[in-house]
Structure formats: C-alpha cells, structure tokens
Amino acid sequence: MNRKGEEAFDPARKTIYWMIAGVMIVLVVLAFSGTLVGYKNKLTYYPPKLKAELISSRFANIPECFAYQDKISGRVYPGVIDLNKFTNATLYDCYHTGQEKGYEDYNFRLKLYNKSTEVLTNNYFNKDDFTLFRKVLVNNKGKSSEDMLYIFVQVNI
C-alpha cells in the first residue's frame, strides 16, 4: 500500500481497534463483577440440609407439633409422635409458609413408614429435593411402636 492509502486507512484501523478494545474492556469488567458476586455467594452459602434439619427438628420434639404429651403430668416426650396429632391441620399449626410466595420457602412431606400415613405442608407440590430420616416412636392410644419418619424436603420451586 502506498503512503496515501495508508493514511486513508488509519482512522478506520483505529475505529476497529477501539471497537475490539471496548468489547474486551466490557468483558473484563463483567468478569470481575461476576467473580465478586460468585465469591460473595460462596461466603454466604449454607447447606440446605442444615436448615431443613433444624426446621424439621420441631416435628417430633415439641407438643405444638407431633410430640406426645402426657395429658396428666404435662410431660413432653421428644421423639415420640402422637398418632392422633399426625394430621395436616396440626402440621399447619406447627409449620406453614406464606399463602402467596410460600412455594419459595422450605416445604415438607412427612411420612411414617410403618403406618403409611403422610401429611403435607401447605405449599408442598411433590418436588422432593432431598429426604431426611428420623427414628421415632409412635404412640397410638397408649401403645408405642418403633417407626421411621421420612421427611421429604422441597427447598423451593
């Protein structure tokens, strides 16, 4: 190319250079902010199973949920499920999520393996993310038997 031609091409070359440089700069800035956000998420992460374990500890441990409570002495037996209480209504009083966006919260399906009975929280839509298991005793009209409580957890939809 002669000198005149080179001079004429110069502004076009700069424009192309800056277009590529602009894209590269934007990519670098986006990658950097992505890294920061990712790092922040990593720092604030906690395992969903931990939260589910802690929430579900109430089901078999407190009398407001399914734990058996002696009517005369008032003593609560943690880990002993009162079969009479094992209903959806009791579960609603024990744990329920918001009517509008409750599906974004943890929901549960509880099943007593030997009794084949199950109860659901109000926004449970059969999307099991994981399952927790808990050995329990079931009190049915004064008679106790061993059972396994299956806690199916729906983290969110």
Partner 1 sequence: MNTQASSILMMIFEIIVVILVVVIVSQAAVGFAKSDTVVKVNTATDLALMVNTLIGTPGDGVTAYPYNVSKYTFILSSGSVMVITPDEPEFKRVTRTFNLPKGFSAEGVVENKERLCLEKNAHKLILRECNKNES
3-state class of 3 per DSSP? helix
| Tokens linked to 138 | 């079931």
Q: How far is the CB of 140 from partner 1 (least distance, A)?
A: 21
| Exposure string for 97-136, b = 16+ CB within 10 A, e = fewer | beeeebbebbbbbbbbeeeeeebbbebbeeeeeeebebeb
Could you count the other beta carbons within 10 Å of the beta carbon of residue 63?
17
From candidates 25, 27, 148, 157, binder to partner 1 by CB under 8 A: 25
CB of 83 or CB of 121, closer to partner 1: 121
DSSP string, 15-67: HHHHHHHHHHHHHHHHHHHHHHHHHHHHHT---HHHHHHHHHHHHHH-TTTTE
Q: How far is the CB of 4 from partner 1 (least distance, A)?
A: 12
Q: Does 29 bind partner 1 (CB under 8 A)?
A: yes
Q: How far is the CB of 128 from partner 1 (least distance, A)?
A: 19
From candidates 23, 27, 30, 33, binder to partner 1 by CB under 8 A: 33
Q: Does 93 bind partner 1 (CB under 8 A)?
A: yes
CB of 78 or CB of 114, closer to partner 1: 78
Query: Which parts of this chain interact with partner 1 (CB under 8 A)?
Result: 7, 10, 14, 21, 25, 28-29, 32-33, 36, 40, 43-44, 46, 50-51, 54-58, 61-65, 67, 76, 78, 93-97, 105
